[in-house]
Chain A
Amino acid sequence: MTKQIFLLMGTLALVTLASVPAAAQSTSSEEGKVDKNWSAPKTPWGDPDLQGTWTSDDTWGVPFERPKQYGTRRFLTEDEIKDRAKRVEQSQEFIDKGGPAHSPAVAELEAKEKGETPPPAQGRYGRGVDAAPVPGHWGEFARRASPLTSQVMDPPDGQIPPMTPEAAKLLAEKQQMRRKQDSYVDWSLYDRCITRGIAGSIIPVIYGNGLEIVQAPGYVSIRYEMVHDVRIIPLDRREHAGSGYRSYMGDAIGHWEGNTLVVDTTNFLGKTAIGVNGDFGPPTSEALHTTERFTRTGTNTIDYKMTVDDPFVYTAPWSYEFPITQEPGYKLFEYACHEGNMAMHNMLSTARMEEAKKAAAGKQ
């Protein structure tokens, strides 16, 4: 392996990922158990049939790493599930009714007009756009309460193993660099419409959690909606490409183990994280080797499991798992990421304006 290792922005997000409150939770009631009266469908050529449009929405809000209070317990108790189910209902009600009558912007504006101090920060996330960057009723949510205490399930305590000292040092340097906003290259691959990586493309986020699986004899392909990466996974290859070939999504080879599709992927560039949008979360290197397992456990449920083995970054392999589901009426739509996209322009123009403001203040 070449020593040119690229590490991603991560620690900050590791902390925040781990702190995602248990709001808007999910998971299929079928998770973890196969109905005895149900048999896995097959394609006309005899492979297990995973085809369809799926979404990881139901795991939105489930913490990535396990909150300490659950210890080695992987599933919520019945009472805890009831609590989570209430929050799912509240989310739905929020979507149906639109939430509070006014944005917090209005209270802030009123205070400003009166020359008063703006209302206190809401929760830990600051005021204004930091407190409510996206109105809740614009997001996509879990449809049912997940029984999972965390997405990470191995090691049994649900905690990602410690990073190697070398990786931790490189990550700290990378984070230092990331504070710059001089150019589009200072923004993430997700911000730049390049990729979310194989993990970021399926780990649930506030919207756009859909993927489509299409099969042909000898191949499985997966198309992810947001940032629209597509993987074409051959089932008949034995060896990965040579080490000179590297890509964001890596070189994938699949095979069937019973009804489970096992996808083994190497040859990554090591530029995407194992977390939200591949942008935030546990970093990766070129040494990353992933194993994904897709097992259909019901008409509308696939159990998805990912094992992360990156000996440069982590002191041990680790895994996370959640169901993806088919939902009535759920469709993928085109994701034209660049067309008309104003976000990059706006972020850079804001950075330049802030620089100019600082420079002007310096001259006074």
Chain B
Amino acid sequence: MRTKLLIAAAGIGLLLSAAPVWAHHAFAAEFDVNRPLVLKGTVTKMEWINPHAWIHLAVKNADGTTTEWMIEAGAPNGLLRRGFNKHSLPPGTEIVVEGWQAKDQSNRANGSNITYPDGRKLFIGSPGTGAPEPKDAR
């Protein structure tokens, strides 16, 4: 990826991420600190499961083939309280994932940052999520 990357990671992000965090499973036991990645793809489905939701992503390779990736997202109930719902990330949505690949080198990754191609963040704000509002959303 050739985007100009300005990592404003210090400031608030660091302040928050520096708090020791225990999720429902050990991130370091699953994801590889030496395998950072950036993936651009199309959502094929989202699984609302615990401890964390998984987004399935079809990623086009340089040779024209497609690889299915699974991206680990936030905890479902936290996302629901944030206003995220089943219409928020419909299949076909293009997203960019920044994160780390699974240690077992399968096509799974931790979604550390997820944005739309125009840079808008996914899963932010309350109650809006930043996701496009679908016409059939109630």
Point out residues on A near B: beta carbons under 8 Å: 16-17, 19-21, 23-24, 61, 87, 90-91, 93-110, 112, 119, 122-140, 181, 190-191, 193, 205-208, 210, 225-226, 276-277, 279-280, 329-333, 335-337, 339-344, 346-347, 349-354
Contacts and interface: CB of A to CB of B under 8 A. Distances in A.
B69 interface: no
In the A-B complex, the 10 residue pairs with the smallest Cβ-Cβ separation, listed nearest first, are: A98-B121, A138-B74, A128-B33, A340-B49, A103-B112, A343-B25, A103-B113, A136-B16, A105-B36, A98-B124
A61 B8 CA distance: 23
Interface in B9-52: 9, 11-34, 36-38, 47, 49-52
B33 A130 contact: yes
Nearest to A193: B50
A182 to B, nearest CB: 13
B29 A341 contact: no
A222 B2 CA distance: 52
Given A133-B27, A181-B29, A105 B18 contact: no
A347 B9 CA distance: 28
Nearest to B27: A133
B49 A335 contact: no
Contacts, number: 244
Contacts of A135: 17, 74, 111-113, 123
Interface stretch (B58-66, B86-94, B100-108): B100-108
B25 A347 contact: yes
Contact of B30 (A102, A340, A350): A350
A122 B14 CA distance: 7
A346 B30 contact: yes
26 contacts: A21-B15, A95-B82, A95-B124, A95-B126, A100-B7, A100-B8, A105-B99, A106-B5, A106-B7, A122-B14, A122-B17, A128-B34, A130-B28, A133-B23, A133-B110, A134-B27, A134-B74, A138-B78, A139-B16, A140-B81, A330-B81, A341-B49, A341-B51, A343-B24, A344-B25, A347-B30
A129 B113 contact: no
B24 A191 contact: yes
Contact of B98 (A24, A95, A102, A125): A102
